Amino acid sequence: MAFDYDLDFDEIDFREQPELYRVGRGEQGVLLVEPYKSEILPHWRFKTPEIAKESSEKIYQLYLDYKEKEDFVGMDMARKFLQMGYTRARRYANYKGGKKYNKSGEINDRDIDDEKAESAAIFEKKWITVREDEEYLAMKKEHQNKFG
């Protein structure tokens, strides 16, 4: 089940009401779920490998903090930001300025940026670590069974 976009996300504290949270696909809803968006977004950066390393490590630490508190929604949001770090850095690695399509709607030629590709790889490692975490997977299944 995906997000219920009829909800007024600005009014919901998902830490207080985790039953309203839906896991969704991939990065779906990553910029809608508070207070997690405000806690994680300031740390999300991928301009250089050094920045990506610092960012991914901070977001992973937030993941571990949420995990320690058994806060599945926070854990899933941290996972989404790690995934988004990978996908966005990868987009910028493949296409100058991160623009896959030109003004005519045609796909631009790839212009590989090795630095952004390295940033993407840094985020990808942390994302894989989280998405394969047995405790995360068990909590995800439990959340989905309980709340949809």
pLDDT under 50: residue ranges of the chain: 1
pLDDT computed for residue 8 by the predictor: 67
Residue 28 lies in a domain: no
pLDDT computed for residue 1 by the predictor: 37
pLDDT computed for residue 66 by the predictor: 98
pLDDT computed for residue 3 by the predictor: 53
CA distance 53 to 57: 6
Residue 103 lies in a domain: no
3-state SS record for the chain: CCCCCCCCHHHCCCCCCHHHCCCCCCCCCCCCCCCHHHHHHHHCCCCCHHHHHHHHHHHHHHHHHHHHCCCHHHHHHHHHHHHHHHHHHHHHHHCHHHCCECCCCCECCCCCCHHHHHHHHHHHHHHHHHHCCHHHHHHHHHHHHHHC
Residue 126 lies in a domain: yes
CA distance 131 to 133: 6
Place of tokens 């030629």: 109
Residue 123 lies in a domain: yes
Query: Which pTM does this prediction carry?
Result: 0.90
- In Å, how far from its chain's centre is CA 84? 4
Contact by Cβ (8 Å): 108, 95: yes
As for how many domains the chain has, the answer is 1
Residue 32 lies in a domain: no
Containing domain of residue 121, as a range?
46-97+108-148
